[in-house]
Amino acid sequence: MSLLTVGTVAFDTIETPYGKAEMVVGGAALYASIAASHFTDQINLVSVVGDDFPQVELDYMEARGITLDGLQIKQGEKSFFWAGKYHDNMNQRDTLITDLNVLADFDPVLPESYKNSTYVMLGNLTPEVQMRVINQMETRPKLIVMDTMNFWMDIAMDSLKEVIKKIDVLTINDEEARQLSGEYSLVKAAKVIHEMGPKYLVIKKGEHGALLFHEGKMFFAPALPLAEVFDPTGAGDTFAGGFIGYLAQTDDISFENMKRAVIYGSAMASFCVEEFSIGRMKGLKKKDIDERLQQFVELAKFDLK
């Protein structure tokens, strides 16, 4: 089924204990779309870049079935740029530079061909931009998944909550779930967040896995322990892209299938962190994904006899 993705398409400069990558491609919509493209080839991307964004990367996206009719290319302007440095433990990072550039006055315009997309992935962006995307849809999508971050809770909680009212699945991390709900226990946080609108809540815990909450039911997906985590940038967006890409492919939003989607998202995220930028994602084959999924099965499988 068709999948609309919205979010940043950007440049990142990243330093980790393993090395440094300068001006590599990144952004929530780029990571999510590329992850999703392993499962579906009807991806409608909405974003904005400057005229500095490499044509070769745009060609790569199109070759993977990502439609760029909704990508605004601003002549004479620069793409969004983020620079950050990870601490030794990789769980913390410092933002060194955030240059909004084209993102500062981004007004998403959906091409006609996008307005009936069945699945929608709202990547992390200002809540106002996320809302403008929802408002341009002609038919209510079958499933709207939304990612956001603590930054918007700090400065735009009211408009954030307006978007949250309209979506089906919220993906945030554990600290964000606590901030949004005011509850420390994730079980209680989930109840509060369900009452805000989303019937499904995915709490991403990075190296500690992910929790899916729905109508009092819980599912826990482990993260795959890795010998080397090279660069965590984009892991959350890649998770979201794998998650919704698998749902769009199977067109089944039952709880059982959403559990699978969380595992697929986790598997894609486990690849993302193995190299800088989309390095690992580029060479990825179906066989690699199937093997990785099997590792998740082995990791989590037990029977009580």
Task: Name the residues that contact a second copy, by CB under 8 A.
Answer: 88-90, 184-188, 205, 208-209, 211, 217-222, 225-229, 256, 259-260, 263, 293, 297-305
**Smallest distance from the beta carbon of 3 to a second copy, in angstroms?**
20
**Smallest distance from the beta carbon of 118 to a second copy, in angstroms?**
21
Residue 202 — left, alpha, or beta (φ > 0 → left; ψ -120 to 50 → alpha)?
A: beta
Q: Which is nearer to a second copy, 151 or 184 (CB)?
A: 184
Q: Which residues contact 220 (CB under 8 A, 6 or more apart)?
A: 209, 210, 211, 212
**Smallest distance from the beta carbon of 186 to a second copy, in angstroms?**
5
Q: How far is CA 175 from CA 150, 151, 225, in A?
A: 8, 12, 21
**Smallest distance from the beta carbon of 255 to a second copy, in angstroms?**
10
Q: Which is nearer to a second copy, 29 or 210 (CB)?
A: 210
**Smallest distance from the beta carbon of 96 to a second copy, in angstroms?**
22
Beta bridge pairs of residue 121: 5, 145
Q: Which is nearer to a second copy, 103 or 210 (CB)?
A: 210
**In terms of DSSP bridges, do strands 143-147 and 169-173 run parallel, antiparallel, or are they unpaired?**
parallel
**Smallest distance from the beta carbon of 54 to a second copy, in angstroms?**
33
**Smallest distance from the beta carbon of 263 to a second copy, in angstroms?**
6
Q: Which is nearer to a second copy, 194 or 260 (CB)?
A: 260
Q: Which is nearer to a second copy, 76 or 225 (CB)?
A: 225
- Specify whether the CB–CB gap between 200 and 212 falls below 8 A: yes
> In this structure, what DSSP letter does residue 36 have?
H
Distance CA 71, CA 57 (A): 13
Per 3-state DSSP, what percentage of the chain is helix, strand, and coil (rounded to 5)?
A: 40, 25, 35
At 53, phi and psi to the nearest 5? -80, 130
Q: Which residues contact 157 (CB under 8 A, 6 or more apart)?
A: none
Q: How far is CA 124 from CA 27, 130, 168, in A?
A: 9, 8, 15
Q: Which is nearer to a second copy, 53 or 213 (CB)?
A: 213
Q: Which is nearer to a second copy, 80 or 276 (CB)?
A: 276
- Measured N-to-C along each axis, helices 157-164 and 186-196 cross at an angle, to the nearest 10 degrees, of 80
